Amino acid sequence: MTMTLADSCVDDGGMGPRADRPKRRTFSAEYKANLLAEYEAAERGERGAILRREGLYSSHIIEWRKAADAGARSGLAPATRDRRDREVEALRARAHRAEAELARTRAALDLVGKAHALVCPERKGSVV
């Protein structure tokens, strides 16, 4: 009997087919601005060395330059928001839904109270 690769693997539960792939890098706005300034100040022959040193491609510089030329420093910042901003937004949405539900509940109770007053006029003003 021959043993295949699948027979010898042990399922550890956390490993998937892409678990060993590298993670996507993110760059801060400050890093992008500093590197863009260094790149622009460098001689033509030194620019490639800067890119190799940082592990970047010329397309990075092109995109960062477009964002800087647009005058949007926020364009240099990564598109992702931090965890605190997402949590605050989720809590605001939750509070908004709760307030809407409270308004519906109050309206329903008001209608039930008015219907009860019409059905049982003798109990007017008394609390059950």
pLDDT of 45: 87
- d(CA 54, CA 35) in angstroms, rounded, equals 9
Determine the residue type at 115: A
Higher-confidence residue: 4 or 70?
A: 70
List, for residues 37-81, the tens digit of each pLDDT value.
999 999 988 999 999 999 999 999 999 888 888 775 555 555 556
Q: Do the beta carbons of residue 67 and residue 76 sit within 8 Å?
A: yes
> What is the average pLDDT across 12-38?
80
Q: Tokens standing for 18?
A: 């892409």
Q: Do the beta carbons of residue 36 and residue 68 sit within 8 Å?
A: yes
List, for residues 98-122, the tens digit of each pLDDT value.
999 999 999 999 999 999 989 987 7
